[in-house]
Amino acid sequence: MIWLRALVAMLIGAPVLVGVGLTLAAAWGADWTKVLALPGLWGGLRLTLITGIGATVLSLALSVPLGLWIMGRPWAARWLAPMLAVPHAALAIGLAFLIAPSGWFGRALAQVLGWAVPPAWPLPGDPYGAALVLGLVLKELPFLLLMTLASASQVDVTGQMAVGRSLGYAPGRVWARVIWPQLYPGLRLPVFIVLAYGLSVVDMALILGPSHPPTLAVQILRLYTAPEMRQAEASVLAIGLVAMTAALAGIWWLAERACTAFGLMALRRGRRGIARRWPGSVVMAAQGGLFVAAMAVLALWSVTGIWRFPDLWPEGLSLALWARGDWIAVALRSLWLGLASVSLALTLAVAVLEGEHRAGRPLRLGAIIVAPLLLPQIGFLQGLTTGFLWLGLPAGPLAVIWAEVLFVFPYVLLSLGGPWRALDPDQLRAAASLGAGPWRQLWRVRLPLLARPIAAAAAVGFAVSVAQYLAVLLPGAGRVATLTTEAVALASGADRRVAAVYGLAQAVLPLLAFALALALPAYGRGGSGGRAP
């Protein structure tokens, strides 16, 4: 299986390494005094730390009580996947339409307080980054909850809860003191992904974050795309962001030890706690409510004709902007870029999992697979674009597809890996005893049996692809327009309605993929019974 490892290393590992390496090389000749004197550098650094760490800590802290709440409510857990499918940018635009002075909240307050003009509050884009933190938490919380549920399937939660309560502990106490700490090892990688994402997010920061100064990642993008050549300065900051992310991961790891020690001390004290009913429901209602309201206001703006300020509802609804149809070509480009990167990622994932199965042991690819998710995207994507040029791959759709595969592949592999390894080996043995060779076993037994998980993994990958911003902007040299790049560009424009059209289309595309993944295999199963071999 050496060739398989080499393939993954070449397709996924090498680009990341080359990207970081070339960014580092570009940073080498930079004039440090010029970099340190960049206006807004220190403000941006502070903002990056506050929003990145704040969003991660807040999401994780909220996921603890919510994890217990959602464990007993499978109907609520079903809403996590669609929330996961909505891209960051679409949520950010919808949230901006909620909290802006002339947004739904402002209008509601104006109705109550009799305001005639929008209030002067600095949202979105408040200097502290509160709006950005809110947006990140709304999006990362469902992800951490889904990971909590996955981790909880490995632990006898019901039995341990019964023991804890029979010892006199309130349910929340049992969960926080003994059950959740057992789930945390399964949450560590997701938390590091959330941390790296929060420190380097660009699309959400452009829409919800302040602009004077913006976060470090946005400053780096501005330098990279500046008309005058400022690659060297940008590269210094990009490498700085990578180093900062690594340092913070180290600090997080130390903080983990400290929390474990404190948790054990608290556990030994034996305080039983009191049962509280509100926290889970209230936080979940706030999260779900804001999410749904953001999507609703996005949909509403996309069909709005005129919407005067204090009114809660537009004067007239019109499909004129949708009918204009300029979004269709862009949506089709998002669609085929997604189909291409998902096909590649899925093929690679099946190859890796089948290779692992035939070798009878894991391929030990760990670090290579998750490296693209654990590094700030802006830390290596511009370097990667340079690397693609050296390879003779010009900036354009092909470069974009390769860059997208870096982020799609890990999610496809992670979501397909569980069901793949859990498949009953007896069914394969039965096929083998009927004389089916390894390829026939793969095509005729394993892949059909796994149709549903494969469709689900493809939908997850497609959602990741559609949501990509930097992986389109940089390797595409700004010439490949997708729903995401257009929506982000339009979000700061004057016409909310146009931004809403692109934002909603960006959210609907991955949701359709999820709906399709749920529907397709159901048809397939009905017809397979009577088919001749």
Partner 1 sequence: MTLELHDLCLTAPGAAAPLFAPLSLRIAPGEIACLTGPSGVGKSSLIAGIAGQLPRGFVLSGQVRLNGRDLLALPPERRGVGVIFQQALLFPHLSVGDNLAFGLSPEFRGRTARRAAVSEALERAGLPGYGARDPATLSGGQRARVALMRALLAQPGALLLDEPFAALDPALRAGMRDFVAEHLRAAAIPALLVSHDAQDAAVARQSLAIAPLGAGG
Binding site for partner 1 (CB under 8 A): 156, 159-160, 162-171, 177-178, 181-182, 264, 267-272, 275
**Nearest approach, Cβ of 417 to partner 1 (angstroms)?**
24
**Nearest approach, Cβ of 185 to partner 1 (angstroms)?**
9
SS3 297: helix
User: What is the C-alpha separation between 377 and 271, in angstroms, rounded?
Assistant: 44
CA angle 189, 192, 197 (to 5 degrees): 130
Query: How many helices (H) does the chain have, and how many strands (E)?
Result: 28, 0
**What are the Cα distances from residue 529, in Å, to 266, 434, 448, 526, 533?**
58, 19, 12, 7, 11
One DSSP character per residue, 180-235 reads HHHHHHHHHHHHHHHHHHHHH--HHHHHHS-SSS--HHHHHHHHHT-SS--HHHHH
Which CB, 171 or 521, lies closer to partner 1? 171
Which CB, 111 or 154, lies closer to partner 1? 154
Residue written as tokens 């496809």? Answer: 412
Which CB, 164 or 453, lies closer to partner 1? 164
One DSSP character per residue, 156-176 reads -HHHHHHHHHHTT--HHHHII
Which CB, 118 or 171, lies closer to partner 1? 171
Which CB, 166 or 433, lies closer to partner 1? 166
Calculated CA dihedral for residues 316, 321, 323, 324, nearest 10 degrees: 150
Which CB, 161 or 239, lies closer to partner 1? 161
Helix axes 130-152, 180-200, angle to 10 degrees: 140
CA angle 114, 118, 123 (to 5 degrees): 130
**Nearest approach, Cβ of 169 to partner 1 (angstroms)?**
6
**Nearest approach, Cβ of 64 to partner 1 (angstroms)?**
16
- Length of the chain equals 533
Facing residues of 317 across strands?
304
Cβ–Cβ < 8 Å for 299, 508 = no
SS3 317: strand
Which CB, 270 or 289, lies closer to partner 1? 270
Facing residues of 321 across strands?
none
Which CB, 182 or 281, lies closer to partner 1? 182
Which CB, 254 or 265, lies closer to partner 1? 265
Cβ–Cβ < 8 Å for 208, 96 = yes
**Nearest approach, Cβ of 167 to partner 1 (angstroms)?**
5
**Nearest approach, Cβ of 274 to partner 1 (angstroms)?**
9
Which CB, 254 or 274, lies closer to partner 1? 274
* Residue 11 DSSP one-character state: I
**Nearest approach, Cβ of 252 to partner 1 (angstroms)?**
20
**Nearest approach, Cβ of 194 to partner 1 (angstroms)?**
23
**What are the Cα distances from residue 530, in Å, to 434, 496, 524, 526, 527?**
19, 53, 12, 9, 7
**Nearest approach, Cβ of 425 to partner 1 (angstroms)?**
26
**Nearest approach, Cβ of 163 to partner 1 (angstroms)?**
5
373-386: string of b/e by CB count within 10 Å (b at 16+)? bbbbbbbbbbbbbb
Which CB, 269 or 308, lies closer to partner 1? 269
Which CB, 273 or 396, lies closer to partner 1? 273
User: What is the C-alpha separation between 413 and 420, in angstroms, rounded?
Assistant: 10
**Nearest approach, Cβ of 184 to partner 1 (angstroms)?**
10
**Nearest approach, Cβ of 88 to partner 1 (angstroms)?**
34
